[in-house]
Structure 1
Amino acid sequence: MIEEVCIVVPARDEAERLPSCLIALSTAMAHLRRSHPGVRVRVTLVLDSCQDDSVEVVRFALRGLLSVAETLTVDVASVGSARSIGVLRALERTRSAADRVWIANTDADSRVPAEWLSNQLALADAGADVTLGTVLPELHDLSPARRAAWGSREDASPPGAVHGASLGIRASVYRDVGGFEPVREHEDSRLVAAARDAGARVVNLDGSPVTTSARLVGRTPGGFAGYLAALGDAPLEAVG
C-alpha cells in the first residue's frame, strides 16, 4: 500500500497559471486525505530559469494554500533536469520504503481534477507501477480548425499517451530505471519506455483528465504545444 505521495511540478515563467495549478493541487490533496486517510502528501515546485513573478506567486500560495510544499529555484532550462531535481529532493524527505512511495507529476500550466491523486493511488494499491493520464487543452483558446481537429469538448487525449502533466510512478521503479533524463523534451516518454522495458506494470488512468494550456509555442521545442500547433496544419475536410 502506498504510504507517501510526492507531487513534483516544474515551472518556467508560469506566474499567470501557477495560482490555478496550485489551487487544483490543494483540492486534489484534500480529496486524497479523505479517500486515503493516513497517506502523507507533499508538493515540490521547481522554478526553472524563471524571468517572471513566479517566485512571488509561489511565496503567496505557500502561505495561503499549500503548507506541505517546498520550492526549489534552479537555472537548468531543461524540463527533464527540473523534474529530476524535484523528484530527488522530494524522495530525500520520504520516510517509507521506495515501493510504498508514489511520485505524481504534473505541470505548472495545468489543473488536475479533484480525484486525480485518489485514482492514481487506487491503481497503485492494486499493483500498478506507472499510471498514464489524459490531458484536455483549454479548448476555448484553440482556433475553430484546431478545435475541430481535436474533437468534441468532452474528448481528452487518447488513453495510453504519455503526458508529463499527468504521470504517476512508483518510487522504486523510478529509481531502478534511472529517473528522468536531463533532456529538454520527451523526458516523460523516455521514462515510461524504460519502465516498460524493466517489466513495470503500466496502466491507463481512466477519467481524471488534466486540463492544460492550449499554447502553441511551449516551454520545450516540441511537446504538447507542438502537437496542438500541428493540428492546424490539416484541412478541416481531412480532420472531419
Structure 2
Amino acid sequence: MSVAALAVVVPAHDEETLLPVALAAVATAARHPALAGTHAETVVVADACTDRTAAVARAVGAHVVTIDRRNPGAARAAGVRAALRRCGVPATRLRVLTTDADSIVPPGWIAHHLGHARDGWDAVVGTVALPAGSPLAEPHRVRYEAGRPAGHRPWDHPHVHGANLGFGAAAYLAVGGFPPVVSGEDRALVTALVHGGHRVLRTDGCPVLTSPRLRARAVDGFGDYLAALPAAGGAARP
C-alpha cells in the first residue's frame, strides 16, 4: 500500500488525567524518521465527556470531534470519518491507527504499522502489555501468552485491541467500518476484514502499554478482563 497520509484515532470518555501522556506518546511516535514526507493527523473523539478531555486534546494540537453517544464503536467510527475528511487523500492511500486514551504507544509504533502497510497488509492487529510495576503484569502475561509458540517463532495471537490496531481506510470502508456497539467493536471490525478476504497480520512485534485500572471506561472491556484475574480478586468489579 502506498501511504500518503495516516491518522491516529483516540476515543476518550472523561480522560483528562491520562490523555496528555497518551497524546505525548503519539506525538513522539509521529516524529519517527520513517514518517518523513507522510502527513499525520491525531483525532481525539471526546464522547459524552463532562471534564476537560476536549480542551486537553486541543491544547496539544489534536483535532477534536465531540459526540454524545457513550459508545466506543460510534466514537471510533466518528474518528475515522473525521480522518477521511481532514487528510484529503483517497481512502486507498490513507492508513488509520487506533489507540486508547489510557494507553502509551512506543516510539516506533506508527513506523511499525506503516512498514506493514507498505508491505501490503490491509490491517495489523497488535498486542498490549501492562506496566512492569503493576501486580497484575505477570498474571496478565501468563494468561495472555498461554498460546505463544516455543522459541522465536512468530505468534499468530488471538487478541484484538482497539489500543493497538491499524488498517487501510479502503479496506475499512469496504467492510462497513466500526459498528456502533458499546464493546467488541474492534473484534467485529477485524472479523469483518478477515471474512472480506483482506490481508490481516496478527503480530506482537510492537506492544502498546495500557492501563492496569480495573474500572475502565468501556463496558466489558479490558478492565473487566483484568478484574477477573486471580491477582485482582478473580471476579469482575462494577
Same-fold call, TM cutoff 0.5: yes
Q: What amino acid does structure 1 have at the position aligned with 2:23?
A: L
Which of 88, 92, 95 pairs up with 1:95?
88
Counting only pairs closer than 5 Å after superposition, residues 137-216 of structure 1 correspond to structure 2 as: 137-142=130-135, 146-151=136-141, 159-216=157-214
Alignment deviations for residues 195-227 of structure 1 (CA, whole Å, 9 cap, x no partner): 000001010244221111111122122111111
Q: What amino acid does structure 2 have at the position aligned with 1:185?
A: S
Structure 1 residues 110, 128: CA separation in 2 closer, same or farther (over 3 Å shift)?
same
User: Hey, which of these two has a bigger chunk of helix by percent?
Assistant: 1
Asked whether the 8 Å contact 1:99–1:172 carries over to 2, the reply is yes
Q: Which runs of 5+ in 2 are unaligned?
A: 149-156
Structure 1 residues 77, 35: CA separation in 2 closer, same or farther (over 3 Å shift)?
same
Q: What amino acid does structure 1 have at the position aligned with 2:49?
A: C
RMSD: 2.2
Asked whether the 8 Å contact 2:9–2:43 carries over to 1, the reply is yes
Q: d(CA) in 1 for partners of 2:85 and 2:183?
A: 25
2:151 is matched with which residue?
none
Structure 1 residues 96, 56: CA separation in 2 closer, same or farther (over 3 Å shift)?
closer
Q: d(CA) in 1 for partners of 2:101 and 2:232?
A: 29
1:13 is matched with which residue?
14
Structure 1 residues 156, 138: CA separation in 2 closer, same or farther (over 3 Å shift)?
farther
**Secondary structure of the residue that 2:44 maps to in structure 1?**
strand
Asked whether the 8 Å contact 1:135–1:156 carries over to 2, the reply is no
Q: d(CA) in 2 for partners of 1:235 and 1:15?
A: 28
Q: What amino acid does structure 2 have at the position aligned with 1:108?
A: A
Alignment deviations for residues 75-103 of structure 1 (CA, whole Å, 9 cap, x no partner): 11000001111111110123322121101
Q: Which runs of 5+ in 1 are unaligned?
A: 63-68
Q: What amino acid does structure 1 have at the position aligned with 2:214?
A: L
2:23 is matched with which residue?
22
Q: d(CA) in 2 for partners of 1:157 and 1:23?
A: 33
**Secondary structure of the residue that 1:151 maps to in structure 2?**
helix
Alignment deviations for residues 27-69 of structure 1 (CA, whole Å, 9 cap, x no partner): 00001xx11321111011101111222233223322xxxxxx3
Structure 1 residues 28, 157: CA separation in 2 closer, same or farther (over 3 Å shift)?
farther
- TM-score, normalised to structure 2, is 0.87
Which of 206, 220, 223 pairs up with 2:221?
223
Identical residues among aligned pairs (%) = 39
Structure 1 residues 157, 187: CA separation in 2 closer, same or farther (over 3 Å shift)?
farther
2:152 is matched with which residue?
none
Q: d(CA) in 1 for partners of 2:231 and 2:21?
A: 31
2:79 is matched with which residue?
86
Asked whether the 8 Å contact 1:132–1:168 carries over to 2, the reply is yes
